[in-house]
Every structure is written in C-alpha cells, then in structure tokens.
Chain A
C-alpha cells in the first residue's frame, strides 16, 4: 500500500484565498483524522471521521475551516478565506479501527505545508 497520500505537499497562497487540502487514506481504514502542526501549538486534532461521517470537529478553529469525506477514499480540508495564522503543516492520518482499540494502526501522511502570505 502507498500509505496515506496528501496533496499538495507545499502551497503558498495569498491571504483571503481559498485553500483545499486533499487526503487519500489507506484502503480499508475506517477512521480518518486531520491534524495541524505549528511551532506554537504543536500537533492538534482538528476533526476526525468514522466511516465517512464526521464524529468530532471540536478542534476546528473557526468557521473558515471545513472538512468533508464524500467517500471512503477521499477527504478534503478547506480554508476559506485563508489567513497568515493558518500557516502550518496539515497532516491527514487514517487507522483501521479507533485509536484506543488499535493505536498501532494509525498512519500519518507526509503533510501539506501551507504558507499564507
């Protein structure tokens, strides 16, 4: 398996523009997670899905952020409008079961490095 695939790997955009980050989880994994990593706040969970259904989005910073999972093999994280403080590395991860039951099956993608200028 190719692992969790994220795109783009790097994006530089201007403040106010819409940003869409994409994720393809590992086939057969029922859980999908979006994390954000910054120097100030470290790694934070934004939202996670189970069987394509959003379960907990309490980590989504504000209404400018939205995430969808239209099918088992694709998810998007969208920021509209983007702001400089959104600059971070965004990671997608997937796992076969929930983390508590099988934490060793969670795999992270290589991340999307976003810079908003």
Chain B
C-alpha cells in the first residue's frame, strides 16, 4: 500500500539536481535528530542522524544541517536519483530518549 499522508508537502526535483528538505522541530530540549526515508508500502528507513553538539553531518550523497537557534533541520540530497523518490521524515528526541517525535513528512518526486 501507499505511504500514508496523501496531503504532504511535495518537492519535485529533476534527476541529477540537488534536493533540500526542511524540517522545523518544536522542542528546544531535543538534542538528537534523525532523518528517515519511507518508500511506498514500506517502513521508515534510517538515513542519517545528528546530535545537537554538531551543526552539520555528511553521509553518502546526504548532508544534514542543524540550526538550533531557529530549531530547524534540513536534509540535502546531492545528485537526486529516481530511487530517492519517497517521503522523508525528520524525528527528534532528547536524552535518555527512546521516544521519537516525527515531523509531518515531505514527499520527494524525482522527474526523469
């Protein structure tokens, strides 16, 4: 089945371009953040994480930026590919934190 959230904000991006997905978090006490990717009919999949003592973290083709001043998180995907089409969620928690609070999600559509 489809991922829930048919009314999600959508980002359309041309294949090969860079994507930037934004997330505003609510709890100033949150100090650990995770980005997830959810493909249609599947569960969320870990992409990258960042702790509050960092402003930037890079992975393979992905970069997460954290601005604690304005409580903003972003995920940058370099050279977006068709396989990147999915819904992307940010999630936050704080120590000792096993309770993740998820954002509403952004749908990314990659145009060939």
- B-contacting residues of A (Cβ < 8 Å)? 4, 10, 31, 33, 37-39, 42-45, 48, 50, 55-56, 59, 88-89, 91, 93, 98-100, 103-104, 106-111, 113
Contact = CB atoms under 8 A, between A and B. Distances in A.
Chain B contact residues: helix, strand, loop or mixed: loop
Nearest to B99: A45
A103 B49 contact: yes
B34 interface: yes
Contacts of A110: 41-43
10 contacts: A39-B5, A45-B100, A55-B98, A91-B43, A91-B44, A99-B32, A99-B97, A103-B32, A111-B42, A111-B43
Contacts of B7: 39
Contacts of B89: 42-43
Interface string B1-31: 1011111000000000000000000000000
Interface residues of B, number: 29
Interface string B79-92: 00000000001010
* Pairs A-B, 4 closest by C-beta atoms: A108-B43, A43-B102, A100-B97, A113-B1
